[in-house]
Amino acid sequence: MTTTTTETGTRSPSLRGARGRKALPPLLAWPALIWISVSVIVPVAFVVTVGFWRLDGFELVHAWDPATYSEMLTDSTFWGIVWWTVRTWLTVLALILGIGIPAAYFIARHVRSLSMQTAILMLTVLPFWVSYVIRIITWIPMFGNKGVLNGALLKLGILDNPSSAFLYNSVAMTIALVSMYIVFIVGPVYFGLSRIDADTLAASRMSGASPWTTFWKVELPLAKPGVVAGSFFATVFLLGDFATEQIVGGATNPMLAGLSLRYAETLQWPMAAAVSAALLVIALVLIWLLSRVHDLRKEV
Amino acid sequence: MEVQTRGQRIFKYVSMGFLLLVLIALYAPLLVMTSLSFTEDQTSTFPPTNLSMISYEKLLHPDRIELFTIAGEPITDYWGPLQLSLLLGVLTAVVATVLGLAAAIAFREQFRGRNSLFFVLLLGMIAPGIVVGLGIRLLATAIDLEPRWYTTGLLVHVGWTLPFSFVIFMVFLNRFDRQIEEAASMLGATALQVFRHVTLPILRPAVLASLLFGFTLSFDELQRSALALGQDISLPRALVSVTTIRVTPVVYSLGAIIAIASLALVLVYLIMFERDAKKLYVPAAAKDDE
């Protein structure tokens, strides 16, 4: 392959490839690799380790004691929260895909001009740049006692009195999560769909395929990398999310991230670490499942 | 395509409905929040009544207690957290951009373990935020380092945004014609000169994108900051803790300002990107056509 111009200055092209592969990564890669090791790999490994430590009063004591892990794994509340986390992931993913894919389909197939497509696409992506805590907070006046939904239902005569049942529960949390993470789906799926050329679609149509069959058998498979990429980001963000549950979910029904944080805030470090380790395992399993659908490494 | 069957029409209108649903879910809450920032009413009543700018005044002058005349209204000073978040965001963006660019240039080469190390650099965006935050907090305690925004905070914020910067530069460098660099060096430019006068100007849109991502991701970061910042309160942390007391119009006015500022920042970037794209890429394409 090519050698660096930056490192070796002038090197005649004919010499290229003669040196073969270098044994070590170039110097320029080291700062980033070291930074990631110190700020991500070591801390994550440390969390798994501290799960084995003991708490003596407020003091963390080094040990190889599986007591915390076994306490966690034999606790039915813990497994309830694991299932709740996975279920929320499934629900949110199903909703953002179920809503986001058709929306992307409409932009790619039914919006005529390319500039209009770009403009609508920008609209669907822009809110990603608005602080996510603020976007969670915006659901309070939507669902609150005197909020938009209550106001509308009162006007329509469906409700006689404002209801406080819409906010601070898992439905409100799910809706907020969907609105938060749908920004990851529409863009990537649109790019997948817009790359399919008109001849391919015409071929499918002329062979007698209905729009539904064409979509299911031709377009969706070709847009798969976008679907998986969007799902990947939604998964990573969602699994670490505790604020949505705290702000609009009622703060009584945490997912694993929230559970770990609560243990940490009450200084129960080994249990916080054990729960975080469990979250890590679940994250890895879910990401592995996504990579079975499509291996994103092929895209880079 | 012109003759639409019934199936196609159904498909069209159903998918249009979903697009509208997306746009409503994204923008209705933001617009409702903004409208409620123009009232003193503490109950989040929509539509807002008694329109006034007082919550913006309260936001700007948290020290003027006479403005806070409503019983039980929490007074929160957001300026400290805002400054901290801005500073941390800028620092994070700059450090992550420098490291990401250096790494991406290095990854143009082939070397042993390149694919695995590429994956290692992406770990920062894969690891769940709460696990990373807890880990750095525990590590800091173990080595007697005080968790602050400029120690553990900066460390994990860069660890979070660096992979994004790296990927942005990788994508740009993949489309980069290295013969331009070779031409410059054959004409006698030193390695540094090639980088300064050839590589960097072409990568300008990527540098801007990397800074924008780094700043915004850090400015909005909560999952790691919850434990990594120690006693330092960033803006997202301040906002979360305020919601446990009461969400007031002052929060909405802050939200509206941040939303508008963020969108303006992205739009400025898009305009600059567009201008760069015209300047840098169109002449080359036009030449190809000749």
User: How distant is the Cα of B23 from the closest Cα of chain A, in angstroms?
Assistant: 7
Measuring CA to CA, which residue among B143, B128, B160 is closest to residue A39? B160
Residue B97: per-residue pLDDT: 97
- Helices B129-142 and A42-50: crossing angle, nearest 10°? 80
Residues B118 and B207 in one domain: yes
CATH number of the CATH domain containing B166 = 1.10.3720.10
For residues B250 and B68, the answer to whether their CB atoms sit within 8 Å is no
Minimum Cα–Cα distance from B30: chain A residue: A138
Residue A17: per-residue pLDDT: 44
DSSP label at residue A57: T
Decide which of B67, B88, B114 is a domain's last residue. B67
Residues B60 and B83 in one domain: no
Residue A300: per-residue pLDDT: 57
Interface of B with A in 53-112 (CB under 8 A): 99-100, 102-103, 105-112
* 3-class SS of residue B237: helix
Residue A20: per-residue pLDDT: 53
Q: Based on the structure, what is the number of domains in chain A?
A: 1
Q: Is residue B255 part of a domain?
A: no
Residues B89 and B177 in one domain: yes
DSSP string, A125-159: HGGGGS-HHHHHHTHHHHHSTTSHHHHHHHHTTS-
pLDDT over 70 (residue A6): no
pLDDT digits (tens, 9 = 90+) for A11-26: 444 334 445 556 777 8
pLDDT over 60 (residue A142): yes
Which domain range does residue A101 map to? 63-299
Residue B40: per-residue pLDDT: 81
Residue A299: per-residue pLDDT: 65
pLDDT digits (tens, 9 = 90+) for B20-40: 999 999 999 999 999 999 988
Residues B20 and B100 in one domain: no
| Alpha-carbon dihedral angle through residues A264, A269, A271, A276, given to the nearest 10 degrees | 70
B198 vs A297, higher pLDDT: B198
Determine contact: A261 vs chain B, CB below 8 A: yes
Q: Based on the structure, what is the number of domains in chain B?
A: 2
User: How distant is the Cα of B90 from the closest Cα of chain A, in angstroms?
Assistant: 15
Query: Exposed e or buried b for every residue in B160-173, given b needs 16+ CB within 10 A?
Result: bbbbbbbbbbbebb
Residues B152 and B53 in one domain: no
Residue B76: per-residue pLDDT: 79
Q: What is the mean pLDDT of residues B197-225?
A: 92
B8 to A132: CB separation less than 8 angstroms, yes or no:
no
User: How distant is the Cα of A68 from the closest Cα of chain B, in angstroms?
Assistant: 16
Residue B202: per-residue pLDDT: 86
Measuring CA to CA, which residue among B199, B196, B195 is closest to residue B177? B199
Residues B108 and B231 in one domain: yes
User: How distant is the Cα of B67 from the closest Cα of chain A, in angstroms?
Assistant: 23
pLDDT digits (tens, 9 = 90+) for B33-86: 999 999 888 877 888 888 888 889 888 888 777 777 776 777 778 889 999 999
Residues B63 and B88 in one domain: no
pLDDT digits (tens, 9 = 90+) for A191-238: 999 888 888 888 888 888 888 888 888 899 989 999 999 999 999 999
pLDDT over 70 (residue A4): no
Positive or negative torsion for Cα A178, A180, A181, A187: positive
Minimum Cα–Cα distance from A206: chain B residue: B1
Count CA atoms within 13 Å of residue A259 on its CB side. 23
Residues B37 and B141 in one domain: no
pLDDT over 70 (residue B286): no
Determine contact: A221 vs chain B, CB below 8 A: no
Residues B32 and B108 in one domain: no
Q: Is residue B266 part of a domain?
A: no
Interface of A with B in 62-91 (CB under 8 A): none
B26 to A138: CB separation less than 8 angstroms, yes or no:
no
How far, in Å, CA of A144 to CA of B66, rounded?
A: 28
pLDDT digits (tens, 9 = 90+) for A58-73: 788 888 989 999 999 9
DSSP string, B31-96: HHHHHHTTB--TT--SS--SB-SHHHHHHH-TT-GGG--STT------HHHHHHHHHHHHHHHHHH
Residues B32 and B112 in one domain: no
Q: Is residue A54 part of a domain?
A: no
Cβ-based burial of A31 (10 A; exposed 0-12, middle 13-18, buried ≥19): middle
How far, in Å, CA of B268 to CA of A5, rounded?
A: 34
DSSP label at residue A166: S
Q: Is residue A2 part of a domain?
A: no
Minimum Cα–Cα distance from B100: chain A residue: A32
For residues B52 and B249, the answer to whether their CB atoms sit within 8 Å is no
> A219 to each of A102, A111, A216, B18, B225, how far by Cα in Å?
11, 17, 6, 18, 40
Residue A15: per-residue pLDDT: 39
Residues B45 and B86 in one domain: no
CATH number of the CATH domain containing A254 = 1.10.3720.10
B220 to A132: CB separation less than 8 angstroms, yes or no:
yes
pLDDT over 50 (residue A10): no
Residues B202 and B102 in one domain: yes
Positive or negative torsion for Cα A218, A286, A174, A140: negative
Q: Is residue B274 part of a domain?
A: no
How far, in Å, CA of A68 to CA of B199, rounded?
A: 53
Which domain range does residue B108 map to? 79-244
